Amino acid sequence: MADTWTGIVAAAGRALVTKVTGQLEPQRYAHDRAMRIVRTIDHLVQAMPASDRPKRVDLVRIAALYSCVGLDQAAVRAHGAAVGQQALDEAAELAADQLQALLGPADIDLTIKILHDHRIRTPDLPEACLLADAVALEEVGLVGLWNQTRVCHQAGRTLDHLVKLWRTQKEYGYWDSRLRDGFHFEVARQAAAQRLARLEPIYEAMMREHLAEDIA
């Protein structure tokens, strides 16, 4: 499987790195995100009870790569879920094509199902639940702050917008709701809670510096 995984990473990697006119370096955001989600999957599986572990974690890792192909988080936030669904459909077509020489037909079909179903609120497949939890952890903690900062920068929004968004989410119980309803496995929910606890003082410090209230 190691050789197969290397081949799949190489194939998907070409679609995860794009070149933009005028930039010295290609955009590697999608590749960075995809590999981080794969690492998250591996650590979630190691931390969860053996009875909870999905059978085809190997295919979850592959689906994670393609879940990031062509996905522009700023566009999704600006124009709605339809943009994300379109990117997912295109990624599924790409996966079906690229994986033909690397996986059997049944494994390809299951990988595509995992890829599609992880966006459903209550997936039937535990593999899709695992991918959904790994993707959800991208929005939490310092990694979540990095992703949110990038989206704000792309949209031309300010630091004032970022810190006020955090405060509004906290006041209206957004993160409590995400912890309660946004994860399928308890190990992922606990990781999210720990990340949020570490993030709160950072946001509060950022707000104080933004308002210059830290200056005595």
Query: At 74, phi and psi to the nearest 5?
Result: -65, -40
3-class secondary structure, 1 = coil
Q: What is the dihedral of CA 22, 28, 30, 34, to 10 degrees?
A: 170
Model confidence pLDDT, tens digit, residues 159-216? 999 888 888 988 899 999 999 999 999 999 999 999 999 999 999 999 999 989 989 7
Q: How far apart are CA 212 and CA 138, in angstroms?
A: 30
Give me the percent of the chain exceeding a pLDDT of 70.
87
Q: pTM for this structure? A: 0.87
Q: How far apart are CA 178 and CA 188, in angstroms?
A: 12
Model confidence pLDDT, tens digit, residues 2-26? 678 888 888 888 778 765 555 555 5
Q: How far apart are CA 200 and CA 149, in angstroms?
A: 15
